[in-house]
Amino acid sequence: MKIFYKINQPESRPADLARWRQPSEKGFALLIVVVVLLLLTFMASQYIMMVRTEVQIANNTKMNFRSRFLAEAGLNLALFRLLDLPTSDNELANEKFHEGHTYETFLPAGKVAYYAVNETGKIDLNSAPAGLLELFFKHYGLDEEQIATIVDSLADWRDTDNFHRLHGAEQDTYKAMIDPYIPRNGAIVDPAEFFLVNGTDVLAGKFTAAEVFTVYNPGSKINFNSLTPAMLDFLAGGDADIIEAYSAAGAPGEELTATKATQPQQILTATQAQQILGDERYALFSPYLAYSSNRNPNYFIVGEGLAGYSAEGEQKKMQETAGIKISALISVERAGLKYLSWKESPL
């Protein structure tokens, strides 16, 4: 009987198997649904992140364009005021324009800053005396050996021979470098060449060559009436009180007349320079200072734009893009304006 039961037992197995397999199949289907939902959730989150990224990129691009146009506006505003051209701002029309002073104004799109200086207020790389260069390099903390290396190498860079000065460098020195190049062996034509001269790598990042050096100042002296912020910092030795005194001495006065033509920039004299710099620093720099009203036609103009800033200095939400700085060297001639250089960089 037991044998018969076992033989006929398979007839009841299909129902039992269905009963046994049903819970397992339901669990598998649930697992598939969960996996699909997780996949859809992941895809949706990735899509949302992609959309947010695209929106942020578009916003950053828009703000960068605004910053660039604001920087151009600052450059043109400096040029208009330098040329005594009228502006729509009555306050600007009645205000003396002081070379080297940084002016700020606000437009609906953001903040604008600008200044303009004559090239006579910089150190000429082709004619500056060694004593002035040494003072400049000491200002940035270089030791005697480093200073001698740069001064001699700069002279070797300009001369046409291949004879080394004591601490200088000629063609063989530059050819032996990891990335070799050939020195000019002639007069420097671009201030940026300074950082190609042997030994100047220790100064990289401390200042911009165009804000300190020039090749358009035929004299060996610095015009005290037209200093870039970097040159003022050099003469002042970083002293905030001296910098403030200089800005106050050349800043617009209270005597405002109807037209700018009758409002020439105040010309600072040697006596005023001594009062501003102090006896000690004036004694150091007096051999290298000049005082003129700038008849040199070449001007260095800087415009900075920062989109999204209000007059209160607050930046709007989601506008954390960097500002744009435009530096241009412009020759003001009777026939018109001639752009000699143009450089754009982030602030």
pLDDT of residue 318: 41
pLDDT of residue 256: 30
Residue matched to tokens 């942020």: 56
Contact (CB, 8 A) for 180 and 154 = no
pLDDT of residue 86: 54
Domain membership of residue 306 (yes or no) is yes
Domain membership of residue 141 (yes or no) is yes
Q: 326 φ, ψ to 5°?
A: -115, 125
Domain membership of residue 270 (yes or no) is yes
Contact (CB, 8 A) for 209 and 191 = yes
Task: Tell me how many domains the chain contains.
Answer: 1
pLDDT of residue 253: 40
Contact (CB, 8 A) for 268 and 250 = yes
Give residues with Cβ within 8 angstroms of 14, minimum separation 6: none
pLDDT of residue 317: 45
What CATH number is associated with residue 202? 1.10.40.60
Give residues with Cβ within 8 angstroms of 123, minimum separation 6: 132, 133, 136, 212, 213, 214, 217, 222, 231
| Domain that includes residue 250, residue range | 69-346
Contact (CB, 8 A) for 173 and 149 = no
Helices 240-250 and 229-236 pack at an angle, to 10 degrees, of 120
d(CA 106, CA 97): 18
Sign for the CA dihedral angle at 248, 121, 269, 116 comes to: negative
Domain membership of residue 21 (yes or no) is no
Domain membership of residue 38 (yes or no) is no
Contact (CB, 8 A) for 120 and 296 = yes
d(CA 82, CA 299): 9
Domain membership of residue 212 (yes or no) is yes
Which DSSP category does 309 fall into? B
Domain membership of residue 11 (yes or no) is no
Portion of the chain with pLDDT greater than 70, in percent: 81
pLDDT of residue 91: 52
pLDDT of residue 57: 83
The torsion region of residue 126 among left (phi > 0), alpha (psi -120 to 50) and beta comes to alpha
- Half-sphere CA count of 215, side-chain side, radius 13 A: 14
d(CA 82, CA 293): 12
Q: At 337, which helix (H) or strand (E)?
A: strand 336-346
Domain membership of residue 37 (yes or no) is no
Q: Which residues of the chain have pLDDT under 70?
A: 1-26, 85-95, 250-265, 293-294, 313-321
Contact (CB, 8 A) for 189 and 340 = no
